[in-house]
Amino acid sequence: MGTSAEQEYAAFEERVSRTVYFDNLSPLVTESVLKSAFEQFATVKSVTLIPNYTGPSNFPQCALVELDSAKKVGEVLSMVKQYPFMICGMPRPVRARQAEVEMFDERPVKPGRKITCRWLEPSDPDFEVAKGLKRLTCKHAAEAAYLAKLQLGEEEKLAKQQMDTLKGHYKKYELIRSIIADGNAQALAERYNLPVSNKRLFNH
């Protein structure tokens, strides 16, 4: 590997620094939606949706959005942190973080890196330890899957709760609207001699 590989890798790292990682995205979100959403703040160079092959299918989408400069990345990050930013629906906001190398599926090999490996036979003194590590790997994967499930559960709970609140509000407004529309509000106001005008009710 010559200098060209190094150059390529440096260019890649530079690209990473200009990229924002988004998650909590609705499955309705597409590349063009993301592009137009952030075109308001910076020049969007590219958008990559990260495919979800193994996770639960109702898990939010993730995406990488490459901007024109690292400075813009900082701006977008702080904005999304400060103001809830909604794409393709509400009220669940998207979440953003600085992209890292591991978030890219296609990337150049880091120059000068050597990978080493060795087979451990059952006779090897380390074999038992290795077996322990393998078990740990499986256990940790299971733990992560479980926590992801818990998280989904929490999210569902919150969504449901918000839905109920929203429905309550909606009902209330519908009620107000209907009594104004059929003149009941007016009649009551007159009956009780309250200075309630149509205009004021509408304003609220």
d(CA 15, CA 111): 17
Which listed range, 67-75, 76-84, 175-183, 196-204, lies at the site for other proteins (CB under 8 A)? 76-84
Residue from 7, 17, 36, 46 touching other proteins (CB under 8 A): that is 36
Question: Taking CB under 8 A as the rule, does residue 11 contact other proteins?
Answer: no
Q: Given the structure tokens 């609220």, which residue do they identify?
A: 204
The reply to whether 142 sits near other proteins by the rule CB under 8 A is no
Q: Cα separation of 30 and 28, whole Å? A: 6
Nearest 10 degrees: Cα torsion 24, 34, 75, 155? -10
Site membership for other proteins, residue 45 (CB under 8 A): no
Shortest distance in whole angstroms from residue 184 CB to other proteins: 21
CA distance 198 to 49: 51
Amino acid at 103: M
Closer of 50 and 189 to other proteins (Cβ): 50
By the rule CB under 8 A, 10 interacts with other proteins: no
**Residues in contact with other proteins, total (CB under 8 A)?**
95
Residue with tokens 């290795």: 130
Phi then psi dihedrals of residue 183, to 5 deg: 85, 0
Single out the residue of 7, 17, 69, 151 in contact with other proteins (rule: CB under 8 A).
151
Contact 94, 23 (CB under 8 A): yes
Residue 108 is given by DSSP the state P
Residue 125: phi and psi, rounded to 5, are -60, -30
Using rule CB under 8 A, residue 143 touches other proteins? yes
State which of positions 98-137 bind other proteins (CB under 8 A).
100-110, 113-122, 124-127, 129-134, 136-137
Task: Please pick, from the candidates 2, 3, 4, 83, the single residue that binds other proteins as defined by CB under 8 A.
Answer: 83
202 binds other proteins (CB under 8 A): no
Stretch that binds other proteins, among 67-75, 154-162, 182-190, 193-201 (CB under 8 A): 154-162
